[in-house]
Structure 1
Amino acid sequence: MFDADINREDTIIRRAEERGHADHGWLKSAHSFSFAGYHDPDWMGFGPLRVINDDQVAGGAGFPMHPHADFEIFSYVLEGKLEHKDSMGNGSVVKAGGVQYMTAGTGVRHSEFNPDTENPVKFLQIWMVPEESGAKPGYQTLDIPPAEKDGKLRLFISKDGREGSIKTLAPAEVYAAHMTEGQETRFTLPEGRKAYIHLAEGSAQVNGERLWRGDAIALSAPGEVTLSGGEEAEVLLFDLKA
């Protein structure tokens, strides 16, 4: 199901315009991996990473209650506000810079709406495959202060929940960074792991390769990853089990 021919080389560039696109009026979405009516056998996923949807939801609109099971699902809010309600009784509104995280496990229903009737909400919705099925469903939120990711990688999802991160059942660790001119940060990808770096906003260089909003780079070999040349760049780095 996962990877298909994605690992033809150690480094694959995924340009924003190559993604699948959908326009439902109230929802505009770009799909980094095969999703719904968009299917590309070369982009079925990358390790446990299964979905990155770059969503914009119009004011007052949203996704009504619908079910999920056996996925780790989180939304990374880029602009505006996102309201969550679920069958576990949880409810919250997450603003830009915030994360809402759900372990679907044995099954849960949830909705996501834009509570602002005038302005859109922009966010990344991301699904990862857990290492175990049938887990107890759960929900968490996390606000990431700008200073904690300014010119550096801030761990916000991990297997062990260290450094104040959200604990996940997926074999993954996820970092966020905001990079501007003159800043540089490095990450060492160990053996047995691979990385997917997604430019959520702005522009930056990853190992000298210039990426713009919606672009991504998939790395399948261990070694050092360098982020530099940021132009108001919001970067997500996924450290994934190979």
Structure 2
Amino acid sequence: MLSIRRASDRGHVHHSWLDARHTFSFANYYDPNYMGFRSLRVINEDRIDPGAGFGKHGHRDMEIITYVLEGTLEHQDSLGNRGTIRPGEVQYMSAGTGILHSEYNASSTDPVHLLQIWIVPDRDGLEPRYEQRDLQQDRNGSSLQLIAAKDGIEGAISLHQDAKLYAGTIPQKESFSYTLQPQRHAWIQVARGELSVNDTLLNAGDGAAISEQTRLVLEAKTEAEVILFDLA
């Protein structure tokens, strides 16, 4: 079964400095039919104006992944971490018992475009943790690479959940095949471009929930940047 979440159907919030699209219910946007998928709780696509951002705020008991598509995001947190995240890099926080952080567009002239992803951990009360990776340095030649997984298998960022997160770019007219094990589920999020998933066309911003299928074929109609979640 493949169920599509079209980009145009997502929740939309527009402030003077922020344009945000919510795949699942988040903050003041609520849709009882879209409260998440398996352990995947949030996919927010944010565009933040130059010099603007989210002031210091708290999270707890959530695995948070930030994936920058364009621009530069500046991060600071209560663990003492401070840095910038650019395209080709990914940031991870295990909020655990509680963490405070801020996120700002580091540029005074250009917007920043990012995806923020939340995954529910397999238990509460974990010790907060922060990690940042340069995906370009880790690329091994495949179109999509494993960037986060339970227990950090294959050198990925270690998640506290039975989930795998793949990301990358599929060149135009090329394809990527993936096998889901029995009783596993997938969510595919198209960050940029256009591709088909098992002959179903998806455009930028579209997502697809997949269950009861084992073989996934992602074929890029244009160059496409994709995030694939393999979930229990």
In the superposition, the TM-score normalised over structure 1's length comes to 0.92
Counterpart check, 1:126 vs 2:117: yes
Aligned to 1:85: 76
Match of 1:27 in 2: 18
The answer to whether structure 1 residue 208 and structure 2 residue 199 are counterparts is yes
SS at match of 2:27: coil
Give the residue type in structure 2 aligned to 1:104: A
Corresponding residue for residue 152 of structure 2: 161
Report if the CA contact (8 A) 1:85-1:110 is conserved: yes
Corresponding residue for 1:7?
Answer: none
Long gaps (5+) in structure 2: none
Is this contact kept in 2: 1:149–1:177, CA < 8 A? no
Q: How many residues align?
A: 232
Amino acid at match of 1:56: R
SS of 1:231's partner is: coil
Structure 1 residues 114-146: Cα deviation after superposition (integer angstroms, max 9, x where no partner): 110100000000111000110000000011118
Aligned residue in 2 for 1:116: 107
Equivalence for 1:5 = none
Task: Please tell me whether the aligned partners of residues 151 and 178 of structure 1 are also in contact (alpha carbons under 8 angstroms).
Answer: no
1:33-92 Cα offsets, whole Å, 9 max, x none, are 001111111100000000000000111011001011000001000001111100011111
In structure 1, the partner of 2:46 is 55
Q: Give the match's secondary structure for 1:163.
A: helix
- Deviation track 1:187-233 (CA, whole Å, cap 9, x = no partner) reads 10111210000000111111111111000110011410011134121
Contact 2:24 2:31 in 1 (8 A): yes
Q: 2:46 aligns to what SS in structure 1?
A: strand
Q: Report the alpha carbon displacement of residue 163 of structure 1 after superposing the two structures with TM.
A: 2.6
Could you say which residue in structure 2 is the equivalent of 1:187? Answer: 178
- Paired position in structure 2 for 1:44: 35
Quote the offset at 1:170 in angstroms.
2.1
State whether residues 149 and 176 of structure 1, in contact with CA within 8 Å, keep that contact through their aligned partners in structure 2.
no
Partner of 2:93: 102
> Which 5+ residue runs of structure 1 have no aligned equivalent?
1-9
Measured after TM superposition, the shift of residue 160 of structure 1 is 2.2
Q: What TM-score, normalized to structure 2?
A: 0.96
Distance apart, 1:14 and its partner CA = 0.7
CA distance in 2, matches of 1:128, 1:187: 21
SS at match of 1:145: helix
After the TM superposition, which parts of structure 1 deviate over 3 Å for at least 4 consecutive aligned residues? Answer: none
**% identical equivalent positions:** 46
Q: Distance in 1 between matches of 2:137 and 2:71?
A: 16
Distance in structure 2 (CA, Å) of the matches to 1:40 and 1:72: 22
Q: What is the RMSD of the two structures over their aligned residues, measured on CA atoms?
A: 1.4
Question: Are 2:220 and 1:229 aligned?
Answer: yes
CA contact (8 A) 2:3 2:209 kept: yes
Distance verdict in 2 for CA 1:157–1:52, change over 3 Å: same
Q: 1:149, CA displacement in angstroms?
A: 7.4
1:239 is matched with which residue?
230
Residues 150 and 116 of structure 1: is their aligned pair in 2 closer, same or farther, counting only changes over 3 Å? Answer: farther
- Supply the distance in 2 between the matched residues of 1:67 and 1:147 (Cα, whole angstroms): 30
